[in-house]
Structure 1
Amino acid sequence: MKYFVPLLANEPAADLQLASEIAENLFTTNNLWIMISTALVFIMHLGFAGVETGFGQAKNTVNILFKNTITPILGLLTYALVGFFLMYPGFETPGWFAFDLDGWKMFWFSPAEADVTAGYADGGYTYWTEFLFQGMFAATAATIVSGAIAERVKLSAYLVFTLFYVGLVYPLIGSWKWGGGALDELGFYDFAGSTLVHSVGGWGALAGVILVGPRIGKYVNGKTMDKPGASVPLAVIGVFLLWLGWFGFNGGSVLSADPGLVSLVLVNTSLGACAGGMGGFIAATFFFKRLDLGMMLNGILAGLVGVTAGADVFTPGSSLLIGFIAGLLVVFSSVFLDKMKLDDVVGAVSVHLTCGVWGTLAVGIFSTNPEHSFLSQLTGVAVCGAMAFSSAFLIFFILKKTRGIRVSEEHERTGLDSHEHGIRGYTIVYDE
């Protein structure tokens, strides 16, 4: 293993030894924190499974869980096959497309050559830690889509969509900022992915919702009909697991274990979540005249998404305001989508797209870094949104015209579990 050690020609041997030990300990600490963060991000998939299963109908429980189980599998595999090298291509000059062919060959055929410090943080961490941490992010985009179009999409169509969207679209867009591409050169900033992860997933969800269409009986005579979820407790557990995972999602994005910066990021993350929950609670009380738990839960997620773009450059005070506004927006957005007859089972478009856009633009308003401008943020949102939505729409459209993307009316009415999986999510057996 190689470590970065600052050397001076006239340093005594003892000082060089001390510097080497400090560098090694720093490397180990940073690497350990990124690995812990990776595990926390991984747990978010269990959170998504809980939220989607809890908000979905009982007759589709196994189908939803199946998608949430296979999504990280496909996400990590496609990221290893192509995504990682498309997302971090090593642009010779900032641009829109490049592929790290040498890195791909090394990854698969000469892995020992990659056993060096990744060059993204002062203290560093391993190349393999970098791959795994970023790979966990990749599958999140597809999981966002999964919840929005649940209960009526063909499993085979969703899997094909995931292969292309996570394998090609997500890493290509990510390369424009995180890979040193054209948007990075422009000055666009997205700390942990309000746009590059969440709104990319949200744009994909919106395209899917439009083309798949609403569930049978969701909109009747101009009215929105409630479809009770299978388990409110499971939805609550899922949200708290996502909140926990966000400590790794945002905290790990510091790309080191810098105590001051990691602490600030985690404080801003939590305050954003709390303010978002309050915003969702207040807005839902105004709109629905009831204490709506579901909207408060989505408000928490909205606040988390909102502060993600600038958790390292926001103050705690601005994080509270950004999160609160996100909590309000998620309710407004959900009401608007229903008026447009766009059926989103879990509110993924409102949480991840609406609040992802808001959080990214908020960097241009509230950032403590004077180099961050609203115009650069708006440009990044527009470019990434155009690419993500058009790509997702095209993938779903081709699938719709070829193999179809929606299950039969009979299967939708009776539930996907019995027809596609042969088992139920909830089964009570009585002794005779």
Structure 2
Amino acid sequence: MKGLTSFFDRMVQRYLPDAFLFAIILTFVVYLLGVLFTDSGPVQMIEHWGTGFWDLLAFAMQMALVVVTGYILANAPVVKNLLAKLSTLANTPAQAIMLVTFVAIIACLINYGFGLVVGALFAIHVAKRVPSVDYRLLIASGYSGMLVWHGGFSASIPLTIATPGHFLEETLGTIPVVETLFSPFNIFTVLVLVITLPLFNRYLLNGTDPLRNTDAALWKSDTEEQTEHEITQPSTPAEKLENSQIVSLIIGVMGLAFIVYHFATNGFDLNINIVNFIFLFLGIILHKTPRRFLDTVSNGVKNAGGIIIQFPFYAGIMGMMVASGLSEQMSLWFVSFSTEYTLPFFSFISAGIVNFFVPSGGGQWAVQGPIMIQAALETGADTAKTAMAVAWGDAWTNMIQPFWALPALAIAGLKVRDIMGFCVMILLFSFIPISIGLFLF
């Protein structure tokens, strides 16, 4: 374990560039693959790239708000105290790793956006409690919760095919979540990972390199220091308004009223927009005054730069993959040698590969769904299980795809190479229970 973990950590530290450069290199790779293996020429691939470049603007804004609103809420005094108390459950580095992993998994099962923020923020508080822990591994453990998101309540593929009117309804019909999220395969896989992943991450401590460990004791929140607005007394009408608790309370109550209305009319619909909405208005209320809230916003926005600039490049990559037919060719190749028994497994593998280039669950299902479901119908494979195999493939390679790690890294103040060596180990380990589940059930 120590030798293998150290090997991947050294390789990543030496050869993995910054996440922005990773996106650029991936752009070059997809461009060349499209020119060589599809009917699209060099000019057409450029057209596909530029046309798709802005297709993720709404999603990029959502992810930026995940970071900013999560930062705002986590730096509210009440929440900081709550996380600090929860962190007291860990007294040793091993306990810290297991606690952060478990909390991150549960949070991601509830909602992936919620889990992304909670995993990183809770890891920071645990690092303060146990400063001797390897901070890089602690953040990787917090991010490892994303491994299970597509088996949880915010899973886009099973929720899509359970919704009347989805784009494959004529071919597939609607499949209730009892056959996908609550299937024996999914329950087995989730339970095994909930139990074993904290233990596995704890054993990764054996492979950490003290020379590369980030000193968790040096981490300090930007808002731990009082700002000028918190020290000086407001004197002008404008300053009094900025420091009015009444203003924050009124707008905060309006926000809470909508949250209650949303759940009363839609049930437990915890999508990314409502998560951001909850974080935002709870942050407004808990910071008490607009000035304190805005000071925290200014600090939080600094963490969203990587998301804002990198997501358009991934949208361009997705544009080339889909428009050129490259993603379709990849999927069809796996289908060509699959049987009724092996199709779910090869759907999982192909989804993991395609996820490198189309790192969006909904977007990936739009590309692979028609191919895999048609193959399942032709071979007699279980369509619900095949759909969940694609979902787990999407979640599986998130461990080594910087796209989803960006929010956690931004909050933690680390670079992708700091955690990726550990994430490779988590990827290799998680392949075992997922594969067993696919063949066993």
The TM-score, its normalising length taken from structure 2, stands at 0.30
TM-score by length of 1: 0.31
**Structure with the higher helix share, 1 or 2:** 2
Larger relative contact order (C-alpha < 8 A, sep ≥ 6)?
2
